[in-house]
Chain A
Amino acid sequence: MDLENTKAQMRKGILEYCILSVLSRNSCYASDIIRELKEARVIVVEGTLYPLLTRQKNAALLSYRWEESQQGPPRKYYELTQEGREYLDDLDKSWDELVKSVNLIRSGKKSKTT
C-alpha cells in the first residue's frame, strides 16, 4: 500500500467539505480560501483548489461575483448558494457521524490491545 496515496484519498473527500465550510462564514476569493486551507494544512499546492471551485460552482453549490482589486486583475468572490448551505448542513451531520464512528473504532481497537 502506498501511504501517500491513502492520505490523498482521505483528503480528497474532506477538501470539498472544507471549502464549503470556509465559505459558510463569509464570501471570499480564492486566495483567502487557499490561505486558510494552507494554514490548516489540508492542501499543499493551490492548483488543487481551482478545479474543485469550478466543479462546485457548476453544481450550483457556489456562486461568485467579480470585485475590483487595487493590485492586479479583478477577483472572483465566491459565496454559498442556498443549495450549498443545505448541502453543507448534510455534510456537517455526516462528518460528525464519521468522526464519532472513527473514534469509536479507534478507541475500541485501543482498548482491545491495551
Chain B
Amino acid sequence: MEKTIKINLGGVLFQIEEEAYRMLRDYLQSIDNKLRNVPGGNETIEDIESRIAEIFQSQKDLAGIITKENVETMISIIGTPDAFDQYEETASGYHTSQSEKRMYRNPDDRIIGGVCSGIGAYLNTDPVWFRLIFIIFTPVFLIGLFVYLALWIALPSANSDSQKREMYGSNFYRSGANIQGKTSEYPYSSKVGSAFNQVFRAIGKVLFIIVRIFLIIIGVTSVLAGFTTLFSFIIIFVFKYPGSFSIDAGEFNLAYLPDFLNYIVTPAMVPLMTALIVLIVAIPLLAMVYGGIRLIFWFKVRDGYIWLIGLIVWVLCVASLAIISFNEGVSYAERGKTTSLEYFGPTPDTLYIMTGKKISDMHADKEISVTDNYYRIYIDDENDLVYIRSRLDINPADNNSIRIEIERESSGTSRLDAESNASRLNYDFKIAGDTLYFDEFFMIPPDSKWSFDEVEVNVFIPEGTIVSMDKTTEKMCHSYYDYDYVKDPKNRFWIMTEDGLDYIESAD
C-alpha cells in the first residue's frame, strides 16, 4: 500500500498519497513564488488554498485519500500560476522574481550530481564544456574533484517546477522542463557536445557502479565489524563469558567492570555508570551497523534526526561519564600513609617467618590484577570481601633488634582522609616465640571503597641472624623481583648480611 501523508489545507485535514503530496507541494510552492511579492498576495494564496480544499472535498473517493489524479484535476481547474497573470498587470513587479536566475544542480540531465548541467543552465552554455573543465582539473591535485564535490554539497537540486524555472531562467520553455513527465532536452547542445555528453554519460555510469561497489564493500565491512564488536561486547558484559580465563589473566579484565566499579565508586553510581559505558560503546557500534546497511542497500530515508539524536545522546553520555568520573576521582586525589612499628624482643639465633592467613585458603570469585602482576585484588562476592596481596620486604637492621614496620597506604579526598582510610585497612601479623606470622593479604574494611590501597611489611633483621621462611613467605618476599630465587624447595635457611638475605648452601 502506498504511503499516505496527513495535511492541513485551508483548515481541513486530508490524507494524501505521497506522490500526490509532492505534486501538491510543488504546485503550492510555485503559486507562492508567483504571488508572494504581489500586494495582498498572501490573502490570495489563502483563498486559493481553501478553494483547493473545497475541490478535494468534492472529489475524494470513499477511502478519503487524495490521489495523484485528484491533484491533477485540481490543477487543471485552478490552472498553473503562469496562467494566472494572463489578465494581470505585467508591471506588478513580481516578474522579476520569476526571471531571476539561480544556480541549481540539474537532476534531469546529470552524470554524477548534475553540477555541470546546472552551471550550463545558469550560463546558457552546453554543460559539456564544464564537464571537460572538471575532468581536466581533476588530475591537478584533485582540484577538479574537490571543487565538484564542494559544488555538489553547496548547490541545491532543482526538483520543483519553480526551481527549474529559476534554474533555466528565460530558457525554461525552450528546455522542455516545463512539460510534465518529460526529461529536459538541453537547449544548447551542439553535435560535438552531445557526442561528448554520450561518452561522459557512459563514463559516469561506470564510475557510479565502481563507487557503488566500493560503498558496498565499506558497508559490509562496517556491518561486520560493528556487529562482531557489539556481539563480543554483549558476550563479555552480559554473559561474562571470558570469566573463566580471568583467574590466570594478568590483564585487567573487562568482564568484571561493573563488579569492579562497585569497589571503586559510590555504589549508587554503579548502575548509572554501567549504563553510560554501555551506551558510549553501543551507540557508535549500532551506528556502524546501521550506516553499513544503508550503504549496502542504498535506500533513502529521512533519518537525519536519528543520527543527530544518536550523536547528542552519545556526547551527553560521554560528558556525564566524565563529570561523574571526575567527582568520583576527587576521592582519590590525595595519598596518605600510616606506619606502625613493632619491636621483637631479644633476637633469636634462628628467626622463623611464616605465613598467617593464605590467599589459597580464601574463597575468591574474581581476581583482578592491576598495574603489575604482584598487586592483585580478590573479590569474594558471597561474603562481600575484598582482599589484596600485601608486600613483604626483609632488610638488614641498623641495630641489634628486630623491627617490624607496617606501612598502610591509601587514597582520599585529603591527606587526612587518606590516612584515616589507610589506618582502617585490616592487616594481621602475629609474634609467637621466635616465629613471625604475616598474612599474605590485607582486607578492605566492609562498606569501604577500594582506593589503591597498599600494605607493605618491612622487617629489619640484625646481620648474622639465620632466617627460615615457608614457601609462601618466600614468594611474598621475593616474587616481585625474582621468581627463581628459591633453588631448593627443601632448604629454607638464609642468613642476613649487609646486603640483605643470603641463601645458605645446604649443609647435608
Q: List residues of A whose CB falls within 8 A of some B CB.
A: 8, 11-12, 15, 30-31, 43-48, 50-55, 57-58, 71-76
Contact = CB atoms under 8 A, between A and B. Distances in A.
Contacts of A47: 31, 48, 78-81, 83-84
A71 B83 contact: no
Contacts, number: 85
Contacts of A57: 40
18 contacts: A12-B86, A30-B51, A45-B78, A46-B51, A47-B31, A47-B81, A47-B83, A48-B79, A48-B84, A50-B44, A51-B35, A54-B44, A58-B39, A72-B53, A73-B10, A73-B50, A73-B53, A74-B11
B96 interface: no
B251 interface: no
The 6 closest A-B pairs by CB, nearest first: A45-B79, A47-B79, A54-B40, A12-B87, A8-B86, A47-B78
A46 B85 CA distance: 12
Contacts of B306: none
Contact of A48 (B38, B53, B54, B83): B83
A73 B8 CA distance: 11
B12 A73 contact: yes
Contacts of B83: 44-45, 47-48
Interface in B74-101: 76-81, 83-88
B502 interface: no
A73 to B, nearest CB: 5
B87 A46 contact: no
Given A8-B87, A12-B86, A47-B84, A73 B54 contact: yes
A46 B87 CA distance: 12
Interface of B: 10-12, 31, 35, 38-41, 43-44, 47-48, 50-51, 53-54, 57-58, 76-81, 83-88
Contacts of B48: 47, 50
B34 to A, nearest CB: 9
B47 A53 contact: yes
Interface of A is mostly: helix
A11 B44 contact: no
B12 A45 contact: no
B245 to A, nearest CB: 72
Contacts of A53: 44, 47
Contacts of A43: 87
Nearest to B39: A58
A46 B50 contact: no
Contact of B54 (A31, A44, A50, A52): A31
Given A45-B84, A51-B84, A51-B85, 15 more contacts: A8-B87, A12-B86, A43-B87, A45-B80, A47-B80, A48-B79, A48-B84, A50-B47, A50-B48, A50-B51, A51-B40, A52-B88, A54-B40, A71-B57, A72-B54
A95 B47 CA distance: 29
B77 A46 contact: yes
Contacts of A74: 11
A15 B57 contact: no
A45 B53 CA distance: 16
Contact of A51 (B11, B54, B58, B88): B88
A8 to B, nearest CB: 4
A72 B12 contact: yes
Contacts of A71: 54, 57-58
Contacts of A15: 87
Contacts of B11: 73-74
B357 to A, nearest CB: 88
A11 B86 CA distance: 9
Most buried by A among B11, B12, B48: B48
A38 B263 CA distance: 86
Contacts of A45: 76-80, 83-84
A12 B77 CA distance: 19
Contacts of B35: 51
A57 B43 CA distance: 11
B86 A54 contact: no
Nearest to B86: A8
Given A31-B51, A54-B40, A46 B57 contact: no
Contacts of A76: 47, 50
A51 B50 contact: no
Most buried by B among A57, A72, A74, A76: A72
A55 B79 CA distance: 19
Contacts of B39: 55, 58
A38 to B, nearest CB: 10
Contacts of A46: 51, 77-79
A87 B53 CA distance: 33
Contacts of A11: 86-87
A73 B49 CA distance: 10
Most buried by B among A48, A53, A58: A48
B16 to A, nearest CB: 16
Contacts of B80: 45, 47
A8 B76 CA distance: 18
B57 A48 contact: no
Contacts of B77: 45-46
Contact of A30 (B10, B40, B47): B47
Most buried by B among A31, A46, A74: A46
B478 to A, nearest CB: 94
Contacts of A75: 50
Contacts of A8: 86-87
